[in-house]
């Protein structure tokens, strides 16, 4: 039985993602926090959770949604409520009217970010975001970019915290694997936003140019374009160089796939695969304006990855990977150092805890 002296923290999200479980377990390791996670997906507790899991019904109406009144009941039983920062989820915005019962923190990207627009493109909704931030007790953002934006708008930096998005990876730093690195990889969902066919076309042109010793291209993923990618490879007779292998869920197999990679390329989108790639010591290559929740901001051009401006640069980059492999191996080392020094899971958990502690000290 948990001690009643522990701070009761309630985290609200739409779906409990598997990659978040290790982060929530780390938060729960803090002796002062009693964490409960509420979501509207399927129950996934496998007996290894260090936190409580509660399911609350969420109803969608067009672009909006709202939760059952149970949500408010659980919030009132908590000391601190941490909610995902989704403007269109009306019951989450409604929490602002119940702040006399608990401290309220919102957690999110903080700016516009979707598959249909550039990162932080102009939006009238920003005014609502800023208003919510002013009324909240604290805000958690994935990047310093959002923190600086809100400070410039006049919101106190004291209540704004950076919670750098990351994933847990297996530690392969003591494994000597330079000789195994022989592939270019794509890792993630195959859909139009990823622009995987641009990658395939650039690779095809490199093969046709007679580029010698070009690394194989291995595609790990699924999604709406999965079958179309297989058909493309077959129709272009590149099955001896391009391998469509499906998505990898097992972490050990994932580590082995990245251990053989010189670079990971996703032309149109840069999400959590950036952190996975960095954690396993592989540089990430994407468009400078790739769709992102902020993860692209971790990439330092020609240091731990590459950011290109025009899609026709991909052919040149594949040539460079082939002829200057050592440069990309060095970028991979830098990427892994960055992950462990600035994006490891403990940093993410500590940011959450620091924001909670701030709200408890900042008594209204």
Q: Distances in Å between the alpha carbon of 125 and those of 131, 206, 317?
A: 10, 44, 38
Residues 110-136 have a mean pLDDT of 81
Rg of the chain over CA atoms, in angstroms?
22
Roughly how many angstroms between the first and final C-alpha of the chain, as a whole number?
31
Q: Which is more confident, 79 or 123? A: 79
What is the predicted pLDDT for the residue at 307? 98
Kindly indicate the confidence band of residue 124, based on its pLDDT and cuts at 50, 70 and 90. confident
Percent of the chain with pLDDT over 90: 85
* Cα→Cα distances 155→136, 141, 170, 356, Å: 11, 13, 38, 18
Whether the per-residue pLDDT at 48 is higher than 90: the answer is: no
Average pLDDT, the chain: 93
Residue 354 has pLDDT above 60, yes or no: yes
Strands (E), the chain: 7-12, 33-39, 52-55, 58-61, 64-67, 80-84, 103-108, 138-141, 160-162, 183-187, 216-220, 242-244, 261-265, 269-270, 284-287, 291-292, 305-308
- The topology (CATH level 3) of 7-166+345-361 is Rossmann fold (3.40.50)
CA neighbor of 170 nearest in space, from 281, 36, 42: 281
Q: Specify burial of residue 320 (Cβ count, 10 A radius: 0-12, 13-18, 19+).
A: middle
The answer to whether the beta carbons of residues 54 and 28 sit under 8 Å apart is no
**In this model, does residue 115 exceed pLDDT 90?**
no
The three-state secondary structure class of 12 is strand
Q: Quick one: average pLDDT of 318-344? A: 97
Q: CA–CA separation, 187 vs 17, rounded Å?
A: 18
Cβ atoms of 218 and 256 closer than 8 Å: no
**Run of H or E residues at 27:** helix 21-28
Place of tokens 């000290």: 361
pLDDT at 270 over 80: yes
Whether residue 319 has pLDDT greater than 50: yes
Copy the structure tokens of residue 203. 């690779």
Task: Return the closest-CA partner of residue 35 out of 69, 73, 70, 81.
Answer: 81
Tokens of 145: 């970019």
| pLDDT tier at 327, thresholds 50, 70, 90 | very high
64-95 tens-digit pLDDT: 999 998 999 999 999 999 999 999 999 999 99
Q: 1 pLDDT band (50/70/90 cuts)?
A: very low
139 bridge partner residues: 106, 160
Residue 176 confidence (pLDDT) above 80: no
Which segments of the chain belong to CATH 3.40.50.2000? 7-166+345-361, 178-342
Among candidate residues 337, 182, 171, 170, the one with its CA nearest the CA of residue 262: 182
pLDDT (mean) for 171-189: 87
Whether 37 and 52 have beta carbons less than 8 Å apart is answered as: yes
pLDDT at 117 over 70: no
Q: Is the pLDDT of residue 344 over 50?
A: yes
Tokens of 1: 């039985």
Residues 6+ apart with CB under 8 A from 338: 278, 298, 300, 304
Stretch 327-338: mean pLDDT:
97
CATH topology of domain 178-342: Rossmann fold (3.40.50)
């Amino acid at each position: 039985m948990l001690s009643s002296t522990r701070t009761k923290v309630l985290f609200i999200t739409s779906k409990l993602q598997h990659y978040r479980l290790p982060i929530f377990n780390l938060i729960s390791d803090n002796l002062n926090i009693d964490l409960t996670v509420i979501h509207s997906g399927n129950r996934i507790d496998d007996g290894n959770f260090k936190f409580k899991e509660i399911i609350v019904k969420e109803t969608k109406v067009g672009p909006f949604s709202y939760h059952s009144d149970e949500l408010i009941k659980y919030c009132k039983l908590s000391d601190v409520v941490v909610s995902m920062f989704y403007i269109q989820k009306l019951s989450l915005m409604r929490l602002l009217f119940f702040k006399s019962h608990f401290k309220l923190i919102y957690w999110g990207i903080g700016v516009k970010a979707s598959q249909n627009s550039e990162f932080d493109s102009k939006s009238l909704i920003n005014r609502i975001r800023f208003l919510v931030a002013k009324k909240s007790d604290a805000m958690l953002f994935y990047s310093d970019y959002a923190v600086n934006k809100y400070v410039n708008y006049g919101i106190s930096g004291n209540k704004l915290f950076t919670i750098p998005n990351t994933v847990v990876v297996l530690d392969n730093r003591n494994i000597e694997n330079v000789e195994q690195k022989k592939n270019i990889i794509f890792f993630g969902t195959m859909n139009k936003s990823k622009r995987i066919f641009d990658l395939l076309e650039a690779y095809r042109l490199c093969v046709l140019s007679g580029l010698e010793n070009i690394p194989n291209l291995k595609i790990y993923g699924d999604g709406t374009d999965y079958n179309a990618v297989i058909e493309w490879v077959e129709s272009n007779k590149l099955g001896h160089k391009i391998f469509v292998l499906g998505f990898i869920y097992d972490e050990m197999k994932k580590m082995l796939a990245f251990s053989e990679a010189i670079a990971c390329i996703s032309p149109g989108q840069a999400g959590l695969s950036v952190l996975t790639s960095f954690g396993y010591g592989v540089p990430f290559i994407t468009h400078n304006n790739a769709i992102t929740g902020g993860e692209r901001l971790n990439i330092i051009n020609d240091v731990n990855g590459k950011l290109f401006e025009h899609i026709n640069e991909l052919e040149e980059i594949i040539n460079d990977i082939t002829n200057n492999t050592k440069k990309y191996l060095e970028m991979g080392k830098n990427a892994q150092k960055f992950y462990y020094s600035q994006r490891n899971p403990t940093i993410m958990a500590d940011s959450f805890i620091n924001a909670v502690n701030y709200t408890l000290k900042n008594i209204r």
